[in-house]
Amino acid sequence: MSAPLRIRRPDKGVRKVARGGEEDFKFYLDRLVKLIPGPAVGLYLIGNGLIPKEQAILPVIVQILWSILCLFAVIVITAFGTTDPQKKESPDWKHVGISSVSFVIWLYTIGGPFAAFNPVVPYVPYIGSLLVLAWTFFVPFFYKGPPE
């Protein structure tokens, strides 16, 4: 299956009136699920759980490197998942960007390196949680996928 993460707009031949609210809601849920970088968040959480916290500076450096590696994973997975060589469709870079921002927001909410640098970068967990809720809810309303 090519481009499993690519967001496809509904058939242009079907008028919005004919689709109805149920189809619009299904299309919204499809975008919502595809824009969340779930595999990379899971990868980050498992790897972060293996990093010892009792040492001084080394775990912070490892945590930063792990965060960067997981962000790179988001970019690679999303770029690959939105590419369809058979249809000659290149990666959907807007989708890659949205998923990358989503990952950074999730990372902030989880804590990660942001919590380690709390005096330098203000880390307020409830702000991260509100950002996750707002970003995840509203982005699929505005991003409908690449023009076909």
**DSSP code per residue over 67-124:** HHHHHHHHHHHHHHHT-BTTTTBPP-HHHHHHHHHHHHHHHHHH-HHHHHTTTTS---
Q: Is residue 114 part of a domain?
A: yes
Q: Is the pLDDT of residue 15 over 60?
A: no
Q: Is residue 17 part of a domain?
A: no
Please tell me the least confidently modeled range out of 9-23, 73-87, 101-115: 9-23
Q: Is residue 57 part of a domain?
A: yes
Q: Is residue 102 part of a domain?
A: yes
Q: Is residue 97 part of a domain?
A: yes
pLDDT value, residue 19: 53
Q: Choose the most confident range, by mean pLDDT, from 7-11, 87-91, 130-134, 141-145.
A: 130-134
Q: Is residue 19 part of a domain?
A: no
Q: pLDDT band at residue 13, thresholds of 50, 70 and 90? A: very low
The predicted model gives 96-118 an average pLDDT of 90
Q: Which domain holds residue 67?
A: 38-142
Split into its structural domains, the chain has a count of 1
pLDDT value, residue 76: 96
pLDDT value, residue 55: 67
Q: Is residue 8 part of a domain?
A: no
How far apart, in whole angstroms, are the C-alpha atoms of residue 93 and residue 121? Answer: 28
Q: Is residue 87 part of a domain?
A: yes
